[in-house]
Amino acid sequence: MRFFFRTFLLLIAGNLALQAQVKRPFALVIHGGAGAITKENTAPEKERGARAGLEKALQAGYAVLEKGGTSLDAVEAAVRVLEDDPNFNAGVGAVLTAEGTAELDSAIMDGRTLGAGSVAGLRHIKNPVSLARRVMEKSPHVMLIGEGAEAFAKTQGLTFVENATFITPARLEAWKRAKGKAQPGNPKGTVGAVALDQAGNLAAATSTGGMMMKKWGRVGDAPIIGIGTYADNATCAVSCTGWGEFFIRTVVAHDIAAQMAYAGTPLTKAAIQTLDKVKALGGDGGLIALDAKGTITMPFNTSGMFRAFKKSDGTQGVSLFRND
Amino acid sequence: MRFFFRTFLLLIAGNLALQAQVKRPFALVIHGGAGAITKENTAPEKERGARAGLEKALQAGYAVLEKGGTSLDAVEAAVRVLEDDPNFNAGVGAVLTAEGTAELDSAIMDGRTLGAGSVAGLRHIKNPVSLARRVMEKSPHVMLIGEGAEAFAKTQGLTFVENATFITPARLEAWKRAKGKAQPGNPKGTVGAVALDQAGNLAAATSTGGMMMKKWGRVGDAPIIGIGTYADNATCAVSCTGWGEFFIRTVVAHDIAAQMAYAGTPLTKAAIQTLDKVKALGGDGGLIALDAKGTITMPFNTSGMFRAFKKSDGTQGVSLFRND
């Protein structure tokens, strides 16, 4: 009996030592938008810019995780890099509204607490994702819109810039070409990140300039908690990109989480099934998702999606097109 | 053989005749807000006003269903009555923002098509629910906010009113009392409706003035598709009322639908389980929900919720308090 007891203790001690050595897995996945993106229709300098931008954002977010930082800090860091990069439809480089201005939306969610922050219709906040985080952490609210959201930003000392700061020559050219055409432009762009940190916590963030030539204060799925952005340690973290209207009607991010929670569907299958619902309604797009075990999925039903991932097991990748 | 064939035909004919006689069930459920409402703290004239208002809205919506109209028309009709009634926190009678203005949000969803419309931050639209419906039916978008949403309303010939039209003496008094206090007022109010029509289609609509003393362009759960408002013929129609921030983080309406879709949970149990999650986060409120068989549930974890229902089987009721 005493022998068994001693063996039992040794087994427990060994197990604890092993756990201390083998760090929990951590991972970062980012996207820079899904759309009609092919090798053929992407200029070489645009391709280089997108790859370099994804790489830089990936490193910024992964560095946080590697140092033992939180998944929240990681997704915010990655998304800030993408917002500042003119190659993506968020922050600098946002597509323009019918009026020729940039109107920015963003959201962030903490899978540990289900805390969430969301902002829409911003015109002067340099990094919308950081304002979304302040809404989550420093206000009693989840969603703030328009001038009200910017008034809150003032109380938080966020960096304000002129709206023109967001407008790149390429977006202005595209706006001039599209002007006068009846339909709003094909939605493309949006950036986002999902992360799992060493403490096992998930987080998600999304940021976008929305749909080109949008008008009437249109808001898409990106800043909507449970739709374009969602994180719950019990299931997954999700950030979407695509035709927002169809993503809203499908409640995409929460629909993936709910399949995992209620039907026991694995992440990858759940994500594909939800994206198929978007397609059945007539929409398209893609998403990145990550579960608490470090499973990654990056499905899209457009011709391409800017995407990248890096995991603590050493695997990583940056891809733009379908077979890439 | 011929005998069997004839019997078979007779059975089919009989069955068809029976189906024509026995109409499919239809039902309407409405709410006028959950909150710290008790018999004791409700003035008799307020109680009479709330009961009469619910009764009137119920009749308006039920009349549509009875004539064979759509559930969409029924929920819009019921919510318009509640918006026009100063007893409820939507349209006329909306609670006031920190600045002393009314800022209105609304959403509507069609369970047959998963079509949806949402508006937030309105200041001059007499019936926000009707604008939400126009967004769904006459725009390529789902969600429009602020001045942009009102610009769209102009193109649709919606009725505009002065912001002062929404402000009742009672709300102004409450605002004056609350002014200068640090915290935004306890959320209370919001109106909504869910309906099942004779064709078997579900619909949901919600409308609100939001949280008293709200600032910074705060948006709650009411206008968010999948959260305060949701309808899908395959599961249920839901309209929520309560502390919006906690409802958003729980993705309430879609969480109920998802339990039904993925775990086979019956409506009533699913609704209670989701509301328990809201409570676990620290929030409170209530909701009304209806499935395609005509099952009704109206749970709340506040002391009271203004609510009423009427079904084609002849049952109906109007209740304000817990044991009522």
Average pLDDT on B18-41 reads 84
Q: Residue B189: which pLDDT band, with cuts at 50, 70 and 90?
A: confident
pLDDT of residue A21: 46
Inter-chain Cβ pairs, chain A and chain B, closer than 8 A: 155
Q: What residues of A are in contact with residue B141 (Cβ under 8 Å)?
A: 214, 216, 218, 245
With 90 as the cut, is the pLDDT of residue B144 above it? yes
Residue closest to A41 by CA, chosen among A286, A306, A321, A302 = A321
Residue A12 lies in a domain: no
What percentage of chain B has pLDDT greater than the value 70?
A: 90
Choosing from A70, A97, A190, A208, the catalytic residue is: A190
pLDDT of residue A255: 98
Residue B129 lies in a domain: yes
Task: Assess contact for B284 and B260: CB atoms under 8 A.
Answer: no
Residue B279 lies in a domain: yes
Residue closest to A262 by CA, chosen among B292, B277, B242, B247 = B277
B250 → chain A, closest CA residue: A114
Residue B5 lies in a domain: no
Instruction: Please give the full DSSP string across B183-242, using - where no structure is assigned.
Output: SPPPP-B-EEEEEE-TTS-EEEEEEE--STT--TTEE-STTSBTTTEEE-TTSEEEEEEE
Q: Which A positions 167-226 lie with beta carbon below 8 A of chain B?
A: 183-184, 214-220, 224-226
Please return the burial class of B272, using the count of CB atoms within 10 Å of its CB with bins 0-12, 13-18 and 19+: middle
Residue A298 lies in a domain: yes
A230 contact B CB<8A:
yes
Average pLDDT, chain B: 92
Active site residue A190: yes
DSSP A300: B
Task: Assess contact for A240 and A221: CB atoms under 8 A.
Answer: yes
Q: Which residue range is the domain that position A258 belongs to?
A: 24-321
Of B121, B227, B263, the CB nearest to A263: B263
Q: How far apart are CA A111 and CA A254, in angstroms?
A: 12
Of A142, A144, A214, the CB nearest to B217: A144
* SS (HEC) of B35-67: ECCCCCCCCHHHHHHHHHHHHHHHHHHHHHHHC
Cα A148–Cα B252–Cα B167 angle in degrees, nearest 5 = 40
Q: How far apart are CA B158 and CA B171, in angstroms?
A: 25
pLDDT of residue B92: 95
Backbone angles phi, psi at A104, to 5 degrees: -110, 140
pLDDT of residue A179: 84
Whole-model pTM: value is 0.92
Greater confidence (A122 vs B212) lies with A122
Q: Residue B21: which pLDDT band, with cuts at 50, 70 and 90?
A: very low
User: What CATH number corresponds to the domain at position B263?
Assistant: 3.60.20.30
With 50 as the cut, is the pLDDT of residue B210 above it? yes
Task: Assess contact for A25 and A293: CB atoms under 8 A.
Answer: yes
With 90 as the cut, is the pLDDT of residue B301 above it? yes
- Cα first-last separation, chain B: 60
B112 contact A CB<8A:
no
Q: How far apart are CA B268 and CA B8, in angstroms?
A: 39
Q: How many CB atoms lie within 10 A of CB B100?
A: 14
Mean pLDDT by runs of 10 across the 324 residues of chain A is 59 54 85 93 94 98 98 98 96 93 97 98 98 97 96 97 95 88 63 98 97 91 97 98 96 98 98 98 97 98 97 97 91
DSSP B284: -
Q: Where are the beta strands (DSSP E) in A52-158?
A: 104-110, 115-122, 143-145
Q: Which of A123, A138, A155, A218 to mutate to test the interface with B (most CBs of B within 10 A)?
A: A218
User: In whole angstroms, how far apart are CA A29 and each of A77, A114, B15, B69?
Assistant: 12, 20, 57, 48
A251 → chain B, closest CA residue: B226
* Number of domains, chain A: 1
pLDDT of residue B280: 98
Report helix, strand and coil shares of chain A as percent, to nearest 5: 40, 25, 35
Cα B237–Cα B128–Cα B276 angle in degrees, nearest 5 = 40
Task: Assess contact for A65 and A28: CB atoms under 8 A.
Answer: yes
Of B142, B245, B255, the CB nearest to A249: B142
